[in-house]
Structure formats: C-alpha cells, structure tokens
Chains A and B, each alone.
Chain A
C-alpha cells in the first residue's frame, strides 16, 4: 500500500514537472500574457524553463553610455554632456556585460531611473542621461571599427530627486 502511494506521488510529481516544462517548450506566449494567476508570478509563468539561447541574429554592437552635465561655479555656465565612467564606479560584470547593458535596464523607465540615480549620486552632475552607441559588427577581427555608426538618447533625469525605495522588506 505504501509503495502504491509512493508511486502515485511520484507520477503526480513527474506529470507536474513534465507539464510545466512542456508548457514552456511549446511557449504559450499568448496564453501566458492573458493569464495572471497571481500578483507574485505576474504575467509570464512559462519563463522559468524557457530557453532561447543565442537564437536571434544581431549584426550590430550596442553600447550604452552615461553622460552628465555639470554646473561651473566660476563661469556660472552648464557644461556640455560629459562621459561618466560608470564602469569604474560600478564594475560588476556578467558575460552579458555590465548590469545597465541589459536591454531590460534601459528599455524600462522604472528600471533605468535607478541606474541614472546612481550616476547622479556618484558624479555630482546636475542631469544625467543614457546614450546608446550602435555600429555594425565586423567579422574576422577583434578591432571593431565604428561602421554605420548611430547614436540615440535612451532617457535621462535631472539630479536631486530620488525615486522611492522598493516596497519590500529590507533584509
């Protein structure tokens, strides 16, 4: 009897495990968008076993840069946009680069603002912004000359105000 109960539990566990992975596998994207089972898991419940590794074609390099403007007390003038060395101030890197290099960091304003605030605090600038540099990748060589170069402003803030801290408990 105990053996049968153990078997039933094992089968149930395997069905749930396989069911979830299968759901991720066939990517119920539309389904997941509409289904909001709880506030905690949000929209995309089929993300945790979804693997899309190095799938897309990207022929361009994209490098975000932080820039700031400073107030000159002597001349009473604002400076031009100046490069801010965020990589020196916040050097943590993953294989995908610095934390703010993730598209999720600059494509979502509520995420981006946190990095802009870090840049403000560290630099003492009056305003900071993020600029995306983009250029065509060159195959077969490490040197990557800036062919077909373009740049785009990704957003910015006036320094001085700080967005609220996260709502959660600080552990």
Chain B
C-alpha cells in the first residue's frame, strides 16, 4: 500500500506551479520594496512582538535589511530562471521568514501560504520543472496545505460566525476602508440577493474543499470554482496578493494525467478562440 501511495510520478504541473509561485512572491515583495526601510528596518519602529519575538535575537539596520531583500529578490529570479532551483527556494524562504518575522505585525495569511508552498516546491521532484520523476511528497504537502487553508477558514466561519449565513460579514468586508472599498464591491455591498448567495458559495467552497476534493469527478469543477472565487476576490476586494498566492499550486492539486488532459484541453480551446485563429475578415 505504501508502495502505491508513494509510487514515483512525473507531474508536469510543477513547472507551471513554480512559475506561479515566483510571480506571487515577486509581486508581493516588489511592492514592499517601496518604503522598505520604514517597514523592515530600525529606520521605522522595531517592535517586540509577534508569536515569535525575533527582535530578541536579531533586527535589521537599513543596510542589513536591503541585503536580505536583495537575497530574497535575487533568489526568486533565479528560481524563475531555473538556476540552482532548490537552494534558491531555500534562500528565498529564509529571507522571507526573516523579514516578515522582524516586521512582526504584517505576516499575512498569504505570506504563510507562500512559505508552505515553498516547502512543497522544495520536496517536489528534481528541479521543480515537471520533467523529473519522484515520489509525490510535494503534491501531498500541497493538498494538506490547501485543505488546511480553505477548510479551516470555512469551518471557522460556520462555527464561530453564524451571520455568514445572512451575508453580513461579506457585505461589511466590501466597504472596509482597507480590505474593501473597491468600486464594484461597494456598489453591490447592500444588494442582498447577490451578497447572500455569495456568502453561501464562500462557505460551501471553503468548508467543503477538503471533502469535495475526495470526489475525483468534482476536482476540476472545484478548482475552477476556486479560480472564480479568487478572481472574484481580486475584483471586489483590495487583497490582490492573496489571489496571486492562493492559486500558485493549483496545477499540482490534480493527478499528473489529469493535469496533462486539462492543460491540453485548455490549450486546444485557446487555439480555437484566440484572435489570430479567427478567419480574417474579407
């Protein structure tokens, strides 16, 4: 049974997943380069807090901060290029952790997600390009991470905030002065016949993800729903980095053969509908 569970596989989705992770990390950290010294060095407020009080152990001067930031961005670019992939993922994760922990207050959910995704990439076969064969440890780790993320936040909503069934938290999230305040989100925030079904869909998708994924036929629809869910968040709420991080390891949430089939179908569909494939107007 263990032999079957850990049978070697070649999952072509790893290459795409690696690039999506690189994009999520790069976009997130590029923005943080603006006012970097105020955020992550003692040119701003160096605080003693966080669940791990790391400033008891280290904190950054502006120079030290920039060097760490340089290591982080350089490592991400090398991962994108496919050069020394695993050591560079390791270096990026260490720098990512060090910076987030020393800042202390904005270690976001998607930062932690990208950390766990990085661990998945580290244990993926070969150079994480989808060409090597190996045990599916990375894919299992990715599944555990997504089950945890969606399942936990969904069950928290169901167990601890019954007003989700009435749509209220989502309605007020849309007008939140930081997380919300997007034109379309604000506009629909008081339209109950839109917001209540959206709340229900959120609960079913998030809380149901670990259960629904067990049905093989449902998986592609579940992941499509996930894409729609995150695109909806991107459109309606001001949390763009969360969207990029959330979908990064979607390609490896399906079996290798299924990934190839879905990818080929998607590419064939795209070849049909892309503008250059249309017959020229006479």
Residues of chain A at the chain B interface (Cβ within 8 Å): 6-7, 10-11, 13-14, 17-18, 21-22, 24-25, 27, 40-44, 47-59, 61, 63, 90-92, 94-97, 99, 101-102, 104-105, 108, 110-111, 114-115, 117-118, 137-142, 144, 165-171
Contacts and interface: CB of A to CB of B under 8 A. Distances in A.
Nearest to A7: B6
B40 to A, nearest CB: 9
Instruction: Determine the main DSSP class of B at the interface with A.
Output: helix
Contacts of B172: 57-59, 137, 139
B190 A139 contact: yes
A108 B38 CA distance: 20
Given A57-B169, A104-B105, A10 B137 contact: yes
Interface in B134-155: 135, 137, 140-141, 144-145, 147-149, 151-153
Contacts of A114: 45-47
Contacts of A138: 175
A43 B61 CA distance: 28
Contact of B51 (A6, A42, A96): A42
Interface residues of B, number: 81
Contacts of A104: 49, 104-105
Contacts of A48: 51, 112, 115
Interface string B97-110: 00000011110110
Contact of B144 (A17, A105, A118): A17
Interface stretch (B12-20, B81-89, B156-164, B248-256): B156-164
Contacts of A141: 175, 186
B48 A111 contact: yes
Interface stretch (B52-60, B72-80, B269-277): B52-60
A11 B2 contact: yes
Instruction: Determine the main DSSP class of A at the interface with B.
Output: loop
Contacts of B147: 21, 25
B11 to A, nearest CB: 15
B42 A95 contact: no
B64 interface: yes
A96 B178 contact: yes
B178 to A, nearest CB: 4
Interface string B176-215: 1111010100110111000000000000000000000000
Contacts of B240: 95
B169 A92 contact: no
A158 to B, nearest CB: 18
A101 B153 CA distance: 23
B96 interface: no
B9 interface: no
Contacts of A11: 2, 6
The 3 closest A-B pairs by CB, nearest first: A140-B190, A171-B64, A166-B55
Given A170-B64, A171-B64, 16 more contacts: A7-B135, A27-B152, A42-B52, A48-B115, A50-B152, A51-B112, A56-B169, A61-B177, A96-B179, A102-B105, A111-B49, A115-B45, A139-B175, A140-B191, A168-B58, A171-B68
